[in-house]
Amino acid sequence: MAKAAPPHRSRWAESPSSSEEWHTTEGLQSQGGRGRKRRRRQEREEDEEDEEDEEDEEDEFGIILYLNVDGSRSKTRHVEKLVADMERSTDRKVVLICVGESKLREGATEFIPEGCYVAARLDRHGRGGDGVVIFAKIGTTAMEVDGIAGRTGEDTEAAGAEVITVETTAFETTLRVTLWYRAPNEDVEPALKEVMAARAAARERKVAWLGGGDWNAPHFDGARQEGT
């Protein structure tokens, strides 16, 4: 009697675990691919969050604007337009507007730019105008500093200058801003003394200080200057 041939056994039958191993490896490869994609997606999301945080930090920085307007009452609309244009072009907010030669009469209020309030003001009386004023945007905290560290009233007028200082917390650190206007043909030294006193007071308080104004002192730094 002829013997039946043994059943044919395939390579996979001889190694039943081979197929399982292949499928397992494929699963690991697929799972590893998904894991890498997930990590890349997470990294992208983290990068986007970092960029948003940086943008938020940048948005915290505001603008302090200094202008010599030669009369505030007639220039209010011009100031408002300048502020709007600057905010639109820089994508930053103007938080303080420092104005020299305000030339205001006592009690005048119609000169205040829209969306602002008067943080500090010092008019010159009986001296042909001049004067200074600092406007702050509504929502910005800015308080006038009295005494020799800031507004000195008759003392600065006697010195031929107006000097005012405000302290604000609108920035990352507390900041004092001093504004001055010195009348032409007056001695520079008294006005300079007032400004330096404001600077020294800020240093003593351990806060940042920024000063700006009009000295009306041609060639005071040795450079040739022209104009009015």
Q: Give the CA count within 13 Å in the CB-facing half-sphere of 145.
A: 23
Q: Give residue-wise pLDDT tens across range 159-176.
A: 678 889 999 999 889 999
pTM higher than 0.85: no
In Å, how far from its chain's centre is CA 6?
89
pLDDT value at position 108? 74
Q: Give residue-wise pLDDT tens across range 98-153.
A: 998 888 877 777 788 999 999 998 887 655 567 889 999 999 999 999 765 444 44
pLDDT value at position 59? 47
Angstrom distance (rounded) from CA 18 to CA 24: 10
Residue 206 DSSP SS3: coil
Q: Give residue-wise pLDDT tens across range 3-18.
A: 455 554 444 444 444 4
**Secondary structure letter of residue 151 according to DSSP:** B
Please answer whether residues 104 and 72 qualify as being in contact, where contact means their C-beta atoms are separated by less than 8 angstroms.
Answer: yes
Give the mean pLDDT of 49-56: 56
pLDDT at 52 over 80: no
pLDDT value at position 65? 93
